[in-house]
Amino acid sequence: MARRDTPEINAGSMADIAFLLLIFFLVTTTMDIDAGISRRLPEKQPPNAPPPPIIKEKNVFEVFVNKNDDLLIENEYHKIADIKQMAMDFIDNGGGIGNPMPNEVAGKDCTWCKGTKDPASSDHPNKAVILLKSDRSTQYGTFIQVQNELGRAYTTLRNRLAKDMYGETYTDMVNKLSKDKGNESLKAKITTIKSMYPEIISEQEAN
């Protein structure tokens, strides 16, 4: 009986199909990407900035987040929702004389402040220091929430001042400048607002 030859399978087309399937899955598959947290870093000080002077205790606003994520403001327990208004009241107090400012008389009163001028609170926005302390075991999410509320306090005060001086908010001016980086007039306005409400936040790890 004659032997039959077994027909061979052409595997060339199979390789092409597998390659096409691989490309298809690579193109159509969505991959999870770790998203970071958008956080604005503290403002850079000018190179010719003088060394920090001795700070009076009343010009320091202490915010502490302990290892249990409890929030203590000036040694009293508070909620995160309380931070913004309390920080604004401290920064905007205007209870005394400030540090010398560009194009102004040294030690000028804060005529734009709308605080209560409490003698036991900060003298001037450019003397008001916010001390943010945290424990090594503090949850990162809680710490970021506290940072954000402090940042919102400064932004709110700057928006109010810019609206009074220039008829538009500080936030709107910053957004405009991002689209028109060569606008020197807008830059000067933003610099003025920032100098009148400078963001002074010191971050420390609790002992």
Strand partners, 62: 131
| pLDDT higher than threshold 70 for residue 46 | no
Buried b (16+ CB within 10 A) or exposed e, 148-168: bbbbebbbbbbbbbbeeebee
pTM of the predicted model as reported, rounded to 2 decimal places:
0.74
User: Which DSSP string corresponds to 27-91?
Assistant: HH-----------PPPPPPPTTPPPPPPPPGGGEEEEEE-TT--EEETTEEE-GGGHHHHHHHHH
pLDDT digits (tens, 9 = 90+) for 169-184: 999 999 999 998 889 9
Average pLDDT over residues 21-41: 66
